């Protein structure tokens, strides 16, 4: 599994712990921003991660985006066709996002989640397969026709 990670200044330190965790579970983690800039803006990092996920599009390529609330990242990421970003605050949400909606971008909050909670969310999101139920596939196809 290959994971592209991006964060604005609000999630920069949080991301360091997530990168360490991903290496312990044998995930290839690629950091799209390795310099802390207190004046940066989240859309640029959402764009970088989404572009990489789309350029390497497969079931084994996903992204994780982190900002203060997670809201900005999920809004930015979902502007990309074929990107299904989900903002998750617990493992149950992560399970549903993967099982039902084939989420390929996980958005996390560095303000409202702890690193330990994020690890549980990430683990669930990584191990949960997409159920591929006809109704789920139909709905995802409909999403790609929007806008």
Per-residue pLDDT tens over the stretch 49-91: 999 999 999 999 999 999 999 999 999 999 999 999 999 999 9
pLDDT given at position 85? 98
Q: What angle do CA 108, 84, 70 make, to 5 degrees?
A: 20
Q: For 119, which DSSP code?
A: H
d(CA 117, CA 2): 21
φ/ψ of 50, rounded to 5, equals -60, -40
- Report whether pLDDT(147) > 80: no
Distance separating alpha carbons of residues 42 and 8, to the nearest angstrom: 5
- What pLDDT is stored for residue 39 in this prediction? 93
Whether pLDDT at 110 is above 90: yes
With a threshold of 0.85, does the pTM exceed it?
A: yes
């Amino acid at each position: 599994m290959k994971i592209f990670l991006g964060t604005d200044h609000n999630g920069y330190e949080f991301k360091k712990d997530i990168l360490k965790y991903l290496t312990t579970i044998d995930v290839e983690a690629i950091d799209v921003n390795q310099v802390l800039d207190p004046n940066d803006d989240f859309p640029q990092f959402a764009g970088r991660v989404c572009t990489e996920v789309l350029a390497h599009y497969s079931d084994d390529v996903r992204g994780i985006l982190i900002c203060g609330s997670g809201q900005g990242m999920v809004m930015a990421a979902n502007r990309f066709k074929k990107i299904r970003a989900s903002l998750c605050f617990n493992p149950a949400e992560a399970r549903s996002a993967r099982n039902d909606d084939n989420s390929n971008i996980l958005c996390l909050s560095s303000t409202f989640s702890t690193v330990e909670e994020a690890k549980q969310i990430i683990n669930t999101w990584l191990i949960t397969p997409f159920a591929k139920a006809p109704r789920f596939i139909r709905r995802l196809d409909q999403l790609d026709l929007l806008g």
